[in-house]
């Protein structure tokens, strides 16, 4: 193997990436970091305005990006985004299946509609992303697929069954696909983040009018920070750097892992 400099090992120049759920939160941070490393990033989200906003943030910082609308529950949407990248650039190098939703129902309170919706977005959406990207990457015999799981795969949490069950399925999809695509030089890994302050988690700190209550938010962040053995909250870049590593040449021998950037919060202590 040619010895790479540190810069070369994390350089994504000439590479392409798709990030689903790139309109805000972790998806936005991941898209920005991949672009900063040189990748052309397709920022895909169900919300067209936020997808375009992320792409605009990247291009105004000197990077290359486009915003695209997709609903990951629709295989045809995901396939179209991947096909466009391959048609325009000749290759898809990085696929980040990040889009997800959450709900807070107990097993006994969950409706069939709740279950179907979260499985459709959080599991089938990732599955479709793996299929579309995997087919393109097998053809080119290279690529990195990164799926977002969650610390919820390790800790049973009351009221989080739909979300955590879908994420466990994502972890097993990741490992299974790594075994299936390894011979074709396609790597497949998951990231299981700890608690990060993103819009997804603001549902716990809303005022009566639906806006974020800053006092509630400060108290909630303090409580969640104590989940980490370090006593600090995670930030979107903590996850974006993990994605950058898994996307990069530095991780050429890394496949089938579930990386846990979570401040030690899921260690069995
Ligand atoms: N924030 C955390 O603490 C945390 C912890 C563990 C795992 N995660 C995972 O990280 C990922 C990102 O989380 P986040 O906190 O940034 O969430 P978020 O809710 O802030 O952002 C999710 C994005 O996904 C988009 N999206 C939702 N449904 C979609 C669909 N059907 N098709 C396309 N896009 C869709 C939303 O519009 C939004 O832009 C998710 O997979 C989440 O489960 C987050």
Nearest CA to ligand 1 atom 42: 100
Q: What are phi and psi of 185, to 5 degrees?
A: 65, 25
Q: Which residue has the tokens 């990069």?
A: 248
Share of the chain above pLDDT 70, in %: 100
**What pLDDT is attached to residue 79?**
98
Q: Which residue has the tokens 């992320």?
A: 54
Confidence band of 188 (pLDDT split at 50, 70, 90): very high
Which one-letter DSSP state was computed for residue 120? Answer: I
Residue 205 pLDDT > 90 = yes
Residue among 105, 129, 130, 131 at smallest CA distance from 117? 105
Residue 1 pLDDT > 80 = no
**What pLDDT is attached to residue 268?**
85
Q: Which residue has the tokens 């997804």?
A: 200
**What pLDDT is attached to residue 8?**
98
Task: Provide CB contacts within 8 A for 53, sequence distance 6+.
Answer: 23, 67
Q: Is residue 189 within 8 Å of residue 254, measured between CB atoms?
A: yes
- 26, with CB counted inside 10 A (0-12, 13-18, 19+), is buried
Residue 153 pLDDT > 90 = yes
**What pLDDT is attached to residue 203?**
94
DSSP, collapsed to helix, strand or coil, labels residue 150 as coil
Nearest CA to ligand 1 atom 1: 196
Nearest-atom number in ligand 1 for the CA of 148 is 41
Give the mutation target among 18, 21, 73 for probing the ligand 1 site: most ligand atoms within 8 A of CB: 21
Catalytic choice (163, 195, 220, 245): 163
Residue 125 pLDDT > 80 = yes
- Please, what is the average pLDDT of the chain? 97
Give the mutation target among 117, 200, 212, 242 for probing the ligand 1 site: most ligand atoms within 8 A of CB: 200
pLDDT digits (tens, 9 = 90+) for 14-65: 999 999 999 999 999 999 999 999 999 999 999 999 999 999 999 999 999 9
Residues 11 and 27: their CA atoms lie apart, in Å, by 19
- The arrangement of secondary structure in 10-196+235-259, i.e. its CATH architecture, is 3-Layer(aba) Sandwich (3.40)
Let me know if 220 is a catalytic residue: no
Residue 121 pLDDT > 90 = yes
Q: Is residue 187 within 8 Å of residue 145, measured between CB atoms?
A: yes
The rounded Å distance from CA 198 to ligand 1 centre is: 9
The rounded Å distance from CA 24 to ligand 1 centre is: 8
Taking every pair of Cα atoms in the chain, the longest distance, rounded to a whole number of angstroms, is 59
Confidence band of 2 (pLDDT split at 50, 70, 90): confident
Nearest CA to ligand 1 atom 38: 21
User: Quick one: average pLDDT of 178-207?
Assistant: 97
Residue among 127, 66, 137 at smallest CA distance from 100? 127
**What pLDDT is attached to residue 75?**
98
Nearest-atom number in ligand 1 for the CA of 97 is 41
Please provide the distance, in angstroms rounded to a whole number, between the alpha carbons at the two ends of the chain. Answer: 40
**What pLDDT is attached to residue 269?**
82
According to CATH, where is 3.40.50.720 located in the chain? 10-196+235-259
pLDDT digits (tens, 9 = 90+) for 208-230: 999 999 999 999 999 999 999 99
Nearest-atom number in ligand 1 for the CA of 77 is 32
């Amino acid at each position: 193997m040619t010895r790479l400099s540190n810069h070369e090992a994390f350089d994504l120049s000439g590479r392409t990436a798709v990030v689903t759920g790139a309109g805000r939160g972790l998806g936005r941070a991941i898209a920005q970091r991949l672009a900063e490393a040189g990748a052309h990033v397709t920022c895909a989200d169900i919300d067209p305005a936020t997808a375009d906003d992320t792409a605009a943030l990247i291009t105004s910082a000197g990077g290359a990006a486009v915003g695209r609308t997709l609903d990951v529950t629709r295989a045809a949407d995901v396939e179209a985004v991947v096909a466009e990248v391959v048609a325009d650039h000749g290759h898809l190098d990085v696929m980040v299946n990040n889009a997800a939703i959450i709900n807070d129902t107990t097993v006994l309170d969950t409706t069939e509609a709740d279950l179907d919706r979260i499985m459709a977005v959080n599991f089938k959406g990732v599955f479709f992303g793996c299929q579309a990207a995997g087919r393109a990457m097998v053809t080119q015999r290279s690529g990195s697929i990164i799926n977002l799981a969650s610390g919820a795969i390790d800790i049973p949490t009351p009221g989080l069954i739909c979300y955590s069950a879908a994420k466990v399925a994502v972890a097993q999809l990741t490992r299974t696909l790594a075994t299936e695509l390894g011979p074709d030089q396609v790597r497949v890994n998951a990231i299981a983040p700890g608690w990060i302050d993103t819009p997804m988690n603001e549902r716990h700190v809303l005022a009566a009018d639906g806006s974020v209550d800053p006092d509630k938010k400060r108290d909630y962040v303090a409580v969640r920070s104590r989940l980490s053995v370090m006593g600090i909250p995670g930030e979107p870049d903590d996850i974006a750097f993990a994605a950058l590593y898994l996307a990069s040449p530095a991780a050429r021998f890394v496949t089938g892992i579930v990386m846990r950037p979570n401040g030690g919060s899921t260690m069995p202590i």
